[in-house]
């Protein structure tokens, strides 16, 4: 058989599936998922098929009997998947006589079509079929490899045909810095992007792998210097999406952890721009992890208190350090480190409380500086601590914690 891949629209069209076993369930489920009206004809149904009927009663119906030639009336496609090869062969021959394409499970040569092993990604479908003698294991293995490539490779998956109504914004959390810590979904969003609005933090090396005609707009902020205001960033997102473009807002960490993702989503929504959010690996959790610091540890810390360090520490954050009830994680706290330390000590925190500062987490330049709370400001000044850095305060920051195996 010489085969070709043909995208066939079966939405709201009738399909006959003969058989009630696992193969029939697999085919019926895929067809119903594509919007077809599936008529299953079989004396008995396997458990998977019964579950399908319960989940999609509007797309499937069952005739409790053996299949007959009359079941071909008005159908667009036939799937012969009974446990009787002769019945499958006769059904496919009858379908061919009526110019209806058929798929024959177990004997592809008896049908006139083959069901590809499908991989779906970024609004695209890739199907694999055997060009000659059927080889299902090889087909599935190849499909799986292609699916992995689509999800992880540097591909250009931008839509070639766009309209103003197709514009959208994707808020992507790029992770703490290392390019391979962005999620697979985040990589997919970059592959589909016409425009990338980026911060200075996050996986900036990925930008160099984008096609040259992808527009990259740098709105990065440095401490004390905001070249582009948040209001201007919001407007950029809306203006670019209004042109029918897919706009990726690439952020370090997670969009919703001190990333102002909520503000950007609300502004887009107010202007009728659809927004997708791709969560990222927050530096609040990943930076300590990359430094070998467990934020919770049995017998040592059972909770985490996360704050941003631009302003004064709240009373709950201070209290968690004073009574040792939680690990305190401070983001963006380098410039105000002395103030935070003074607040903690004046509230009663022990000057011996362990502190660790993780700079450039997950990058080759990562550095971890440790000292007691009463000494950390002096030590940080001596070694030249610079942002971006994450400050961890609490017993878990003790370098000896894991080395001694201490736990409750």
Average pLDDT estimate for 209-226: 79
Q: How far apart are the C-alpha atoms of 3 and 114, rounded to whole Å?
A: 8
Provide, rounded to the nearest whole percent, the portion of the chain with pLDDT above 90.
Answer: 66
Q: Kindly indicate the confidence band of residue 407, based on its pLDDT and cuts at 50, 70 and 90.
A: very low
Q: How far apart are the C-alpha atoms of 46 and 22, rounded to whole Å?
A: 7
Using the predicted structure, report yes or no on whether residue 406 has a pLDDT greater than 60.
Answer: no
Average pLDDT estimate for 73-97: 94
Q: What's the whole-number average pLDDT of the chain?
A: 89
Using the predicted structure, report yes or no on whether residue 141 has a pLDDT greater than 90.
Answer: no
Using the predicted structure, report yes or no on whether residue 119 has a pLDDT greater than 90.
Answer: no
Average pLDDT estimate for 32-40: 91
Using the predicted structure, report yes or no on whether residue 408 has a pLDDT greater than 50.
Answer: no
What pTM did the predictor assign? 0.70
Q: How far apart are the C-alpha atoms of 240 and 20, rounded to whole Å?
A: 51
Q: Looking at 137-141, 227-231, 295-299, which range is the least confident one?
A: 137-141
Do residues 287 and 358 touch, judged by C-beta distance below 8 A?
A: yes
pLDDT at position 182 is 93
Provide, rounded to the nearest whole percent, the portion of the chain with pLDDT above 70.
Answer: 94
Q: How far apart are the C-alpha atoms of 164 and 271, rounded to whole Å?
A: 13
pLDDT at position 204 is 84
Q: Kindly indicate the confidence band of residue 140, based on its pLDDT and cuts at 50, 70 and 90.
A: confident
Average pLDDT estimate for 162-179: 87
pLDDT tens string 295-328: 999 999 999 999 999 999 999 999 999 999 999 9
Average pLDDT estimate for 267-288: 95
Average pLDDT estimate for 25-50: 91
More confident residue, 81 or 33: 81
Tokens of 31: 């067809």
Domains of the chain: 14-115 (3.40.50.720), 164-281 (3.40.1010.10), 285-403 (3.30.950.10)
Do residues 337 and 360 touch, judged by C-beta distance below 8 A?
A: no
Average pLDDT estimate for 3-8: 62
- Return the number of other C-beta atoms located less than 10 Å from residue 397's C-beta: 29
Average pLDDT estimate for 65-77: 94
| CA angle in degrees (0–180, nearest 5) for 208-386-328 | 105
Q: What residues act catalytically?
A: 199, 221
pLDDT at position 320 is 93
Using the predicted structure, report yes or no on whether residue 139 has a pLDDT greater than 50.
Answer: yes
Average pLDDT estimate for 14-40: 92
Judged on CB neighbours under 10 Å (0-12, 13-18, 19+), 333 is buried
Give Cα 202 to chain centroid, integer Å.
Answer: 16
Using the predicted structure, report yes or no on whether residue 130 has a pLDDT greater than 80.
Answer: no
Using the predicted structure, report yes or no on whether residue 340 has a pLDDT greater than 70.
Answer: yes
pLDDT at position 253 is 93
Do residues 202 and 313 touch, judged by C-beta distance below 8 A?
A: no
């Amino acid at each position: 058989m010489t085969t070709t891949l043909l995208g066939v629209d079966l939405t709201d069209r009738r399909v006959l599936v003969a058989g009630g076993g696992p193969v029939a369930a697999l085919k019926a489920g895929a067809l119903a998922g594509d919007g077809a009206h599936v008529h299953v004809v079989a004396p008995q149904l396997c458990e998977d098929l019964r579950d399908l009927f319960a989940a999609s009663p509007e797309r499937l119906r069952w005739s409790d009997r053996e299949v007959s030639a009359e079941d071909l009336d008005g159908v667009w496609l036939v799937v012969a998947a009974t446990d009787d090869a002769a019945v499958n062969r006769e059904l496919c021959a009858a379908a061919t006589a009526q110019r209806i394409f058929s798929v024959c499970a177990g004997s592809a040569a008896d049908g006139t079509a083959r069901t590809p092993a499908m991989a779906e990604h970024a609004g695209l479908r890739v199907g694999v079929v055997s060009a000659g003698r059927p080889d299902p294991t090889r087909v599935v293995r190849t499909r799986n490899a292609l699916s992995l490539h689509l999800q992880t490779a540097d591909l250009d998956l931008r839509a070639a045909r766009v309209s103003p109504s197709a514009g959208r914004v994707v808020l992507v959390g790029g992770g703490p810095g290392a390019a391979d810590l962005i999620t697979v979904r985040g990589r997919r969003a970059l592959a589909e992007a016409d425009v990338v609005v980026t911060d200075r933090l996050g996986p900036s090396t990925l930008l160099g792998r984008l096609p040259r005609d992808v527009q990259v707009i740098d709105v990065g902020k440095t401490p004390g210097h905001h070249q582009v205001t948040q209001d201007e960033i919001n407007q950029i997102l809306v203006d670019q999406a209004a042109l029918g473009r897919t706009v990726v807002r690439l952020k370090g960490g997670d969009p919703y952890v001190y990333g102002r993702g909520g503000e950007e989503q609300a502004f887009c929504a107010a202007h009728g721009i659809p927004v997708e959010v791709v969560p990222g690996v927050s530096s609040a959790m990943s930076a300590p992890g990359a430094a070998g610091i467990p934020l919770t540890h049995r017998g040592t810390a059972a909770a985490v208190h996360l704050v941003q360090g631009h302003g004064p520490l709240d009373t709950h954050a201070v209290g968690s350090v004073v009574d040792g009830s939680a690990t305190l994680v401070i983001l963006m706290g380098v410039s105000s480190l002395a103030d935070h330390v003074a607040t903690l000590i004046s509230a009663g925190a022990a000057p011996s409380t362990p502190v660790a500062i993780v700079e450039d987490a997950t990058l080759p330049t990562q550095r971890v500086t440790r000292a007691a709370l009463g000494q950390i400001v002096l030590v940080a000044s001596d070694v030249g601590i610079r942002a971006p850095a994450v400050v961890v305060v609490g017993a878990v920051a003790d370098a000896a914690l894991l080395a001694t195996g201490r736990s409750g």
